[in-house]
Structure 1
Amino acid sequence: MTAKQNTSMKSLQTLIRQPLVGQGARVTQPEPTAMDMAIVDSVFNKLRVLFPVSAPRPEDEATHKGEWLKTLAAQGIASREQVQAGLNRARREQGDRQFWPTPRQFALWCQPTACDLGLPKLEAAFKEATRHYHHPDKHTWSHDVVRLAVRETGSWMFATGLEKDVLMTFERNYKVLCRRFSRGELTDVELPKALPETVTRPTEAAKAKSIIANLRANLGLKGANDGC
């Protein structure tokens, strides 16, 4: 290893110990290995060719690599195979794009898509869900992951929610379940809800009047229809 490479590695080791942007100093990061840093070096070299615009300047590269290492670790990207999948996806996604991707974007590229897993694309899964959410037990689903995403989204949401809100909730559930499926994890489990489970419902008119009357009485107030 050259003196320049050794200095760069020490710099990255110092950066990786720092907390992620926006997190407190108590957050600890795993110590990167020489292989981790070599992988990020290789990724940067390839991405410079694919996306030459806005690539990090050489003097800022150590800082950027430190954040990339932290972000990839936080997103569960921990193998050469995942990184290679990310590079392959970058080549497919490139098209006319010239701008350097964020580490979060690259981490998403490293994760398998529904098609990679043999699952329906999000659009097809959502269309199937909107057609059959009201009788899930009677429909033969294209894949069990779609059925589970429908269950987690809820028939009430499909029936009463705005389409954009339903799609956002379904997409979130579908992607979480796809990731679990890709890891071979049991998918037939309830997911943590993105929104509070409590729902505000309008109070019935009679009950509302009773509550108001009690409040007035407790506070010594009189209503317009009360006697003098």
Structure 2
Amino acid sequence: MSNLTRIIENRDGSALARMAGSAPEAVKMVNPEAEKLVDALFRNLKQVFPAAVNTTFRDPNDEVAAKRQWIAAFAENGIRSREQISAGMQHARASESPFWPSPGKFIAWCKQGAIRASGLPDTAELYDMVMDYAKRRGLYAGPEAFPWSSNAAYWMVTKLYSEMRGLNLSESELLKHCGKELAAMAKRVEANEPIPAPVVQIPKLHIPVSNEKGLDKIAELRAKLNMPRKPC
């Protein structure tokens, strides 16, 4: 499995092009190592989906064509990391169906697993996380000190908490904001974008404040950031 991910990560263009070809001559030109790697992946999947042996791949030519299409689909959809493929296999083992999945289905499993592995909850779970943070945030020196389950959770929850307070969101409105925030973060995860670790944040004020409250907020931020007070 690790060799397969290496081939995908390296994006061996010539090998992928030959694997994706439909002519019988293209099959004969495939790099022997790449052919062995795809064989290993399919052997693993056959153990999970035994019905494929006598149905989907009854004709050996069908299996050869399927291998070409799977490699091409991985390259086209950015499935190139060991974690993604492992996540896909985890979903495959949990599947209740004994039948072989389409490459699109397996790719979706890879992406879903990678998202969950990155700590992304569903909408209801994210809402509960915001409520828990609102209740317990005062026990910690700052947002960055809160016991976050992941970097992604930190960025989503702190942003949603700020919006909830600043915009005075109702429960239904906050749930909608949770859904949008999850969708945005999922795109970042799918793109393999690194999610930064928690850092000290300057709160965003969404509503006007009085001059006195504004000065108090500045003093609070200076104290948190260990900045000296300005002389009067």
Give TM-score, length-normalised by structure 1.
0.48
Q: Higher relative CO (CA 8 A, sep ≥ 6), structure 1 or 2?
A: 2
Give TM-score, length-normalised by structure 2.
0.47
Q: Compare the two structures and name the one with the higher helix fraction.
A: 2
